[in-house]
Each structure stands twice: as C-alpha cells, then as structure tokens.
Amino acid sequence: MFNYPSQFFAFVWSGWIATWPTELLTFIWLAWVTSWVVASFWSGRTEKQIMTWDSQAYRLPILAGAILLAPWTAQALAEKPIWHLGNIGVYAFAGLTVAGMAFAWWGRIYLGRLWSNGITRKEDHLVIDTGPYGLVRHPIYTGQIAAILATGAAVATVTALLGALLIAFGLWRKASMEEGFLTAELGVDAYGRYCRRVPMLFPFLPHR
C-alpha cells in the first residue's frame, strides 16, 4: 500500500490532525493518553472483576467510536466539517477538552490505588464520596465524556461527531454496569445510599 516511508508518514499525519488549529487536539490527546498509560501502573491488587465477554457491552461502542473519530476515517471519506468554528472556536473547544481531562485526572488522583481500567473491586475497596466523588459518582467518565464531545464538536465532521457520541455512550454504559457491580460488591446500604445522594455523571441533575 505504501511504497515509501514518506507516503506512510503522510497517511498517519493526515485528516484533521494535519491542520492547525485542530492539530492542537492531537497533541492534547497524545499527552493525555501517555500520562494515563503511565499512571495505569499505579493501581492496587484486583480481587474481582466482571467477565471479559460482558465488558464488550461498553468496549465495542468505544472502539467503533474511536475508529469513526480517527482522522484517517475522515481522510478516506474525503469529509469536510459541517460547520467551521474558526481558530478562536477551536481553541475554546480545546480548552473544554483540557478541562474535561483535568476533571478526569482529579478523579483518578483522588481515587488513588482503587482505580482500575476495567470494572473491578480492588483490595480494601470502599465507597469514596468526597472531592470530585461528592459531585458525581463517576468523575473520570464525566471528564472523559466532556473531553471527547468537545473534540468531536471541534473537528465537526459527521464521522467525528458520531464517533464522539458512540464513545460517550460506551462510557455511560460502562458507568451503568459499574453501578450494578459495585452495589453487589460493596453492599446496597453503602453504595445505594451514595447513589441516592450523588448523581451518576452530570452534577446538579436529579439522581436516584
């Protein structure tokens, strides 16, 4: 498919990642993913987790969304943005992306070694209900959803918007599955009381 290294590089660095200011979003996401992968080693011992097959309920939408949001999809389909925000607009959405990531990182740091990439119960697991967890029950997912929707809106192609929505749906589905898992593992009294007091993903909205 690629006869020369330059052709491969041109393909990799194509689509919305090749044009400023949307190129800025690429650098933001690369920095976030790198930091998140490094931090994944800071986690406690897992005592129980959901079945791998069950996790496909949220992993598949996230994967499909990532493919749609990828710049190479828009490049292959020769897509154009359905709206143009201008430089200031893209910078504003880049700021919202960073804000979402910062909120997710706040939740990650606050959770400490209880954090896991999957739906698990860690050693000495307990209900955390202060800090960002006093605002929403899943601040990491809240921040990630905000960041991905801001990115989709900044790129503004049909596939990017659909991809962002699919990823957001996958994260919502993961949060919902985690609710049931933690209620069963930590007890209805402990986690159920927390659920009645704090909203799941969106601060200040009605909650069960």
Q: What is the mean pLDDT of residues 101-112?
A: 94
Residue 97 lies in a domain: yes
Q: What distance in Å separates the CA atoms of residue 149 and residue 113, rounded to the nearest whole number?
A: 28
- What was the pLDDT predicted at 185? 86
Give per-residue pLDDT as tens, 50-70: 777 788 999 999 999 999 999
6-48 residue pLDDT tens: 554 555 556 677 677 888 999 999 999 999 999 888 887 887 8
Least confident of 49-53, 97-101, 111-115, 124-128: 49-53
In a domain, 205, yes or no: yes
Tokens 């496909």 identify what position?
A: 56
Structural domain tally of the chain? Answer: 1
Residue 71 belongs to a domain: yes
Gap between the Cα atoms of 94 and 150, Å rounded: 7
- Range of weakest confidence among 7-21, 134-148, 164-178, 194-208: 7-21
Residue 106 belongs to domain spanning: 20-26+63-112+126-208
For residue 43, tell me if it sits in a domain: no
Rounded to two decimals, the pTM is: 0.89
- Residue 34 located in a structural domain: no
CA-nearest of 57, 170, 186, 79 to 126 is 186
Domain-located, residue 172 = yes
Question: What is residue 208's predicted lDDT score, i.e. its pLDDT?
Answer: 53
Q: What percent of the chain clears pLDDT 70, i.e. is strictly above it?
A: 90
Percent of the chain clearing pLDDT 90 (strictly above) = 51
> What is the Rg, in whole angstroms, of the alpha carbon atoms belonging to the chain?
19
Average pLDDT over residues 139-156: 96
Phi/psi-derived region of residue 86, left when phi > 0, alpha when psi is between -120 and 50, beta in every other case? left
| Residue-level pLDDT at 10 | 55
Residue 2 lies in a domain: no
Whether residue 6 is contained in a domain is answered as no
Q: Of 71 and 99, which is predicted with more confidence?
A: 99
